Amino acid sequence: MTVDVEDYFQVSAFEKNVARDAWETTPLRVEKNVDRILQVFDDHDVKATFFTLGWIAERCPAMVSRIVSEGHELASHGWEHVRVTNQTPTEFSADVTKTKMFLEDLGGCSVNGYRAASYSIGASNLWALDVLADCGYRYSSSIAPIKHDLYGMPDAPRFRFTAAQGRLVEVPITTIPVAGKNINCGGGGWFRLFPYSFSKWALGKVNSKELESGLFYFHPWEIDPEQPRIEGAGAKTRFRHYLNLSRMQGRLEMLLSDFSWGRMDDVFFNDEERRAWQEVASVA
Protein backbone atom coordinates (compact mmCIF):
# COMPACT_ATOMS: atom_id res chain seq x y z
CA MET A 1 0.00 0.00 0.00
CA THR A 2 1.52 3.31 -1.06
CA VAL A 3 0.59 6.99 -0.92
CA ASP A 4 2.07 9.66 -3.19
CA VAL A 5 2.21 12.68 -0.88
CA GLU A 6 1.53 15.75 -2.99
CA ASP A 7 -1.22 18.36 -2.96
CA TYR A 8 -4.02 18.72 -5.48
CA PHE A 9 -2.46 21.68 -7.34
CA GLN A 10 0.90 19.94 -7.85
CA VAL A 11 -0.19 17.14 -10.18
CA SER A 12 1.42 17.00 -13.60
CA ALA A 13 -1.93 17.47 -15.35
CA PHE A 14 -2.19 21.00 -13.92
CA GLU A 15 1.31 22.13 -14.90
CA LYS A 16 -0.08 24.54 -17.50
CA ASN A 17 -2.74 25.88 -15.16
CA VAL A 18 -0.87 26.40 -11.88
CA ALA A 19 2.47 28.21 -12.02
CA ARG A 20 5.21 26.99 -9.68
CA ASP A 21 5.51 30.42 -8.09
CA ALA A 22 1.80 30.20 -7.19
CA TRP A 23 2.44 27.19 -4.96
CA GLU A 24 3.72 29.39 -2.14
CA THR A 25 0.46 31.31 -1.88
CA THR A 26 -1.90 28.34 -2.35
CA PRO A 27 -3.29 27.01 0.95
CA LEU A 28 -2.18 23.44 1.59
CA ARG A 29 -4.76 20.70 2.11
CA VAL A 30 -2.36 17.76 2.10
CA GLU A 31 -1.63 17.59 5.82
CA LYS A 32 -5.30 17.35 6.81
CA ASN A 33 -5.84 14.67 4.15
CA VAL A 34 -2.80 12.68 5.29
CA ASP A 35 -4.12 12.81 8.85
CA ARG A 36 -7.36 11.23 7.59
CA ILE A 37 -5.41 8.56 5.72
CA LEU A 38 -3.31 7.73 8.76
CA GLN A 39 -6.48 7.29 10.79
CA VAL A 40 -7.99 5.01 8.14
CA PHE A 41 -4.81 2.94 8.05
CA ASP A 42 -4.78 2.71 11.84
CA ASP A 43 -8.43 1.62 11.86
CA HIS A 44 -7.53 -1.25 9.51
CA ASP A 45 -4.14 -2.05 11.10
CA VAL A 46 -2.31 -1.27 7.84
CA LYS A 47 1.23 0.02 7.43
CA ALA A 48 2.11 1.73 4.14
CA THR A 49 4.86 3.50 2.23
CA PHE A 50 4.52 7.26 1.80
CA PHE A 51 6.37 8.60 -1.27
CA THR A 52 6.72 12.20 -0.15
CA LEU A 53 7.64 15.37 -2.02
CA GLY A 54 10.52 17.21 -0.40
CA TRP A 55 8.69 20.51 -1.02
CA ILE A 56 5.74 19.24 1.03
CA ALA A 57 7.91 17.73 3.76
CA GLU A 58 9.73 21.03 4.21
CA ARG A 59 6.41 22.78 4.89
CA CYS A 60 4.73 19.98 6.87
CA PRO A 61 7.45 18.51 9.11
CA ALA A 62 4.97 17.40 11.79
CA MET A 63 3.12 15.34 9.18
CA VAL A 64 6.33 13.55 8.22
CA SER A 65 7.12 12.88 11.86
CA ARG A 66 3.69 11.36 12.35
CA ILE A 67 4.09 9.11 9.29
CA VAL A 68 7.34 7.73 10.69
CA SER A 69 6.24 7.53 14.33
CA GLU A 70 3.18 5.47 13.37
CA GLY A 71 5.37 2.84 11.74
CA HIS A 72 5.00 3.68 8.05
CA GLU A 73 7.84 3.78 5.55
CA LEU A 74 9.07 7.20 4.41
CA ALA A 75 10.20 7.29 0.77
CA SER A 76 11.05 9.91 -1.85
CA HIS A 77 8.81 11.39 -4.54
CA GLY A 78 11.39 13.96 -5.64
CA TRP A 79 11.47 17.58 -4.54
CA GLU A 80 8.88 19.45 -6.65
CA HIS A 81 7.04 16.81 -8.71
CA VAL A 82 9.10 17.41 -11.85
CA ARG A 83 8.78 14.58 -14.33
CA VAL A 84 12.05 12.77 -15.00
CA THR A 85 11.45 13.23 -18.74
CA ASN A 86 11.92 16.97 -18.14
CA GLN A 87 15.26 16.59 -16.33
CA THR A 88 18.83 15.99 -17.42
CA PRO A 89 20.78 13.27 -15.59
CA THR A 90 22.61 15.98 -13.63
CA GLU A 91 19.38 17.73 -12.65
CA PHE A 92 17.77 14.44 -11.70
CA SER A 93 20.73 13.40 -9.56
CA ALA A 94 20.65 16.70 -7.69
CA ASP A 95 16.89 16.43 -7.17
CA VAL A 96 16.82 12.89 -5.78
CA THR A 97 19.93 13.45 -3.65
CA LYS A 98 18.51 16.62 -2.09
CA THR A 99 15.18 14.93 -1.36
CA LYS A 100 16.73 11.79 0.13
CA MET A 101 19.02 13.74 2.44
CA PHE A 102 16.27 16.08 3.58
CA LEU A 103 13.75 13.34 4.29
CA GLU A 104 16.32 11.28 6.17
CA ASP A 105 17.31 14.24 8.34
CA LEU A 106 13.68 15.14 9.00
CA GLY A 107 12.37 11.63 9.53
CA GLY A 108 15.39 10.25 11.36
CA CYS A 109 15.30 7.12 9.20
CA SER A 110 16.81 5.69 6.03
CA VAL A 111 15.02 6.52 2.78
CA ASN A 112 15.43 3.57 0.44
CA GLY A 113 12.61 3.98 -2.07
CA TYR A 114 11.79 6.44 -4.84
CA ARG A 115 8.81 7.01 -7.10
CA ALA A 116 9.02 9.30 -10.12
CA ALA A 117 6.42 11.99 -10.68
CA SER A 118 3.72 10.61 -12.99
CA TYR A 119 5.59 7.32 -13.49
CA SER A 120 7.96 9.22 -15.77
CA ILE A 121 10.70 6.61 -16.04
CA GLY A 122 10.40 4.47 -19.16
CA ALA A 123 12.17 3.16 -22.23
CA SER A 124 13.62 6.57 -23.16
CA ASN A 125 15.26 7.35 -19.81
CA LEU A 126 16.24 4.13 -18.07
CA TRP A 127 19.48 5.92 -17.17
CA ALA A 128 17.46 7.29 -14.24
CA LEU A 129 17.56 3.89 -12.53
CA ASP A 130 21.38 3.98 -12.60
CA VAL A 131 21.31 7.48 -11.12
CA LEU A 132 19.04 6.31 -8.31
CA ALA A 133 21.43 3.48 -7.48
CA ASP A 134 24.37 5.89 -7.58
CA CYS A 135 22.56 8.14 -5.11
CA GLY A 136 21.99 5.34 -2.61
CA TYR A 137 18.40 4.31 -3.30
CA ARG A 138 17.64 0.59 -2.98
CA TYR A 139 14.45 0.44 -4.97
CA SER A 140 12.22 2.38 -7.31
CA SER A 141 8.52 2.18 -8.11
CA SER A 142 8.52 4.42 -11.16
CA ILE A 143 7.50 2.33 -14.17
CA ALA A 144 3.95 1.67 -15.31
CA PRO A 145 3.91 -1.31 -17.75
CA ILE A 146 0.99 0.11 -19.70
CA LYS A 147 0.34 2.21 -22.80
CA HIS A 148 -0.83 5.68 -21.79
CA ASP A 149 -0.87 9.08 -23.46
CA LEU A 150 1.24 10.64 -20.69
CA TYR A 151 3.50 7.81 -19.49
CA GLY A 152 4.07 4.07 -19.57
CA MET A 153 6.40 1.32 -20.74
CA PRO A 154 4.10 -1.48 -21.94
CA ASP A 155 6.97 -3.90 -22.62
CA ALA A 156 8.40 -3.62 -19.11
CA PRO A 157 8.13 -6.60 -16.74
CA ARG A 158 4.89 -6.54 -14.78
CA PHE A 159 6.51 -7.52 -11.48
CA ARG A 160 9.68 -6.81 -9.50
CA PHE A 161 12.91 -6.86 -11.50
CA THR A 162 16.50 -5.78 -10.96
CA ALA A 163 18.09 -2.83 -12.77
CA ALA A 164 21.25 -0.74 -12.74
CA GLN A 165 23.49 -3.80 -12.99
CA GLY A 166 21.77 -5.42 -10.05
CA ARG A 167 22.17 -2.41 -7.75
CA LEU A 168 18.49 -1.40 -7.76
CA VAL A 169 15.11 -3.12 -7.72
CA GLU A 170 12.20 -1.73 -9.74
CA VAL A 171 8.69 -2.62 -8.56
CA PRO A 172 6.23 -1.56 -11.29
CA ILE A 173 2.66 -0.57 -10.57
CA THR A 174 0.39 -3.60 -10.71
CA THR A 175 -1.39 -4.44 -13.94
CA ILE A 176 -3.55 -7.26 -15.26
CA PRO A 177 -3.49 -8.52 -18.88
CA VAL A 178 -6.89 -8.14 -20.54
CA ALA A 179 -7.30 -9.02 -24.23
CA GLY A 180 -3.55 -8.79 -24.77
CA LYS A 181 -3.23 -5.37 -23.13
CA ASN A 182 -2.01 -4.50 -19.64
CA ILE A 183 -4.66 -2.69 -17.60
CA ASN A 184 -3.74 -0.74 -14.48
CA CYS A 185 -5.34 -2.32 -11.42
CA GLY A 186 -2.99 -0.67 -8.94
CA GLY A 187 -4.77 2.53 -8.05
CA GLY A 188 -4.93 6.18 -8.97
CA GLY A 189 -7.55 7.38 -11.42
CA TRP A 190 -8.04 3.84 -12.68
CA PHE A 191 -9.30 2.76 -9.27
CA ARG A 192 -11.82 5.60 -9.29
CA LEU A 193 -12.87 4.85 -12.90
CA PHE A 194 -13.43 1.09 -12.77
CA PRO A 195 -16.09 -0.52 -10.56
CA TYR A 196 -14.65 -1.71 -7.27
CA SER A 197 -15.54 -5.27 -8.26
CA PHE A 198 -13.00 -5.09 -11.10
CA SER A 199 -10.18 -3.98 -8.80
CA LYS A 200 -11.02 -6.70 -6.30
CA TRP A 201 -11.11 -9.35 -9.02
CA ALA A 202 -7.87 -8.18 -10.67
CA LEU A 203 -5.83 -7.93 -7.47
CA GLY A 204 -7.23 -11.25 -6.31
CA LYS A 205 -6.11 -12.87 -9.56
CA VAL A 206 -2.61 -11.40 -9.21
CA ASN A 207 -2.44 -12.93 -5.72
CA SER A 208 -4.05 -16.30 -6.31
CA LYS A 209 -3.20 -17.15 -9.92
CA GLU A 210 0.13 -15.39 -10.46
CA LEU A 211 1.24 -15.73 -6.82
CA GLU A 212 2.48 -12.16 -6.77
CA SER A 213 1.92 -9.27 -4.38
CA GLY A 214 -0.02 -6.31 -5.71
CA LEU A 215 1.16 -2.71 -5.50
CA PHE A 216 -1.48 -0.04 -4.93
CA TYR A 217 -1.10 3.75 -4.93
CA PHE A 218 -3.26 6.79 -4.37
CA HIS A 219 -2.90 10.47 -3.48
CA PRO A 220 -4.15 12.44 -0.46
CA TRP A 221 -6.19 14.73 -2.71
CA GLU A 222 -8.15 11.72 -3.97
CA ILE A 223 -10.06 11.49 -0.67
CA ASP A 224 -10.81 15.24 -0.75
CA PRO A 225 -13.91 15.89 -2.90
CA GLU A 226 -14.17 19.46 -1.57
CA GLN A 227 -10.80 20.55 -2.98
CA PRO A 228 -10.84 23.77 -5.03
CA ARG A 229 -11.39 23.35 -8.77
CA ILE A 230 -8.53 24.45 -11.00
CA GLU A 231 -9.60 27.06 -13.53
CA GLY A 232 -8.73 26.57 -17.18
CA ALA A 233 -8.12 22.82 -17.06
CA GLY A 234 -9.24 20.87 -20.13
CA ALA A 235 -12.18 18.49 -20.16
CA LYS A 236 -9.99 15.34 -20.17
CA THR A 237 -7.92 16.62 -17.27
CA ARG A 238 -11.01 17.54 -15.24
CA PHE A 239 -12.52 14.12 -15.89
CA ARG A 240 -9.38 12.27 -14.80
CA HIS A 241 -8.75 14.36 -11.72
CA TYR A 242 -12.22 14.83 -10.27
CA LEU A 243 -13.92 11.56 -11.21
CA ASN A 244 -15.55 9.79 -8.25
CA LEU A 245 -13.57 11.64 -5.57
CA SER A 246 -16.56 11.32 -3.24
CA ARG A 247 -16.44 7.52 -3.55
CA MET A 248 -12.69 7.11 -3.08
CA GLN A 249 -12.47 6.76 0.70
CA GLY A 250 -15.26 4.21 0.83
CA ARG A 251 -13.64 2.13 -1.90
CA LEU A 252 -10.27 2.42 -0.19
CA GLU A 253 -11.70 1.12 3.07
CA MET A 254 -13.21 -1.87 1.27
CA LEU A 255 -9.82 -2.56 -0.32
CA LEU A 256 -8.09 -2.42 3.04
CA SER A 257 -10.60 -4.91 4.43
CA ASP A 258 -10.57 -7.30 1.46
CA PHE A 259 -6.76 -7.73 1.23
CA SER A 260 -3.72 -7.75 3.50
CA TRP A 261 -1.39 -4.78 3.05
CA GLY A 262 2.05 -3.67 4.18
CA ARG A 263 4.98 -1.35 3.56
CA MET A 264 6.92 -1.82 0.35
CA ASP A 265 10.14 -2.67 2.13
CA ASP A 266 8.32 -5.40 4.10
CA VAL A 267 6.29 -6.86 1.22
CA PHE A 268 8.82 -6.88 -1.62
CA PHE A 269 12.11 -7.43 0.22
CA ASN A 270 13.27 -10.15 2.57
CA ASP A 271 15.11 -9.82 5.85
CA GLU A 272 18.51 -10.44 4.26
CA GLU A 273 18.03 -7.64 1.75
CA ARG A 274 16.92 -5.18 4.43
CA ARG A 275 19.86 -6.12 6.66
CA ALA A 276 22.20 -5.41 3.73
CA TRP A 277 20.65 -1.95 3.36
CA GLN A 278 21.22 -1.28 7.06
CA GLU A 279 24.84 -2.44 6.93
CA VAL A 280 25.62 -0.16 3.99
CA ALA A 281 23.86 2.75 5.71
CA SER A 282 25.82 2.22 8.93
CA VAL A 283 29.13 2.24 7.03
CA ALA A 284 28.14 5.40 5.14
Q: Say if residue 32's pLDDT is above 80.
A: yes
138 CB contacts (<8 Å, ≥6 apart)?
112, 113, 168, 169, 269, 273, 277
What pLDDT does residue 284 have?
60
Angle of the 245-258 helix axis to the 196-208 helix axis, nearest 10:
30
Terminal Cα distance for the chain, rounded = 29
- Inter-CA distances, 86 with 56, 92, 98, 117, 137, Å: 20, 9, 17, 11, 21
pLDDT band (50, 70, 90) for residue 147: confident
What pLDDT does residue 21 have?
93
pLDDT band (50, 70, 90) for residue 114: very high
Q: How far apart are CA 93 and CA 19, in angstroms?
A: 24
**Domain span at 36:** 2-283
Phi, psi of 145 (to 5 degrees): -80, 55
Q: Say if residue 26's pLDDT is above 70.
A: yes
Q: Say if residue 203's pLDDT is above 80.
A: yes
**How large is the average pLDDT for residues 207-236?**
96
Q: Is 108 helix (H, G, I), strand (E, B) or coil?
A: coil
The total number of structural domains in the chain stands at 1
CATH code of residue 99: 3.20.20.370
| CA quadruple 80, 84, 85, 87: dihedral sign | positive
**How large is the average pLDDT for residues 200-212?**
97
Q: What does the pLDDT look like over 230-269, one tens digit per residue? A: 999 999 999 999 999 999 999 999 999 999 999 999 999 9
Q: Is 217 helix (H, G, I), strand (E, B) or coil?
A: strand
**Residue 149 vs residue 240, higher pLDDT:** 240
Q: Tell me the average pLDDT of the chain.
A: 95
**Residue 151 vs residue 76, higher pLDDT:** 76
**CB hemisphere CA count around 243 (13 angstroms):** 15
What pLDDT does residue 280 have?
75
**How large is the average pLDDT for residues 139-144?**
97
Q: How far apart are CA 31 and CA 193, in angstroms?
A: 25
Q: How far apart are CA 226 and CA 53, in angstroms?
A: 22
Concatenated DSSP letters of 178-200: ETTEEEE-SBTHHHHHS-HHHHH
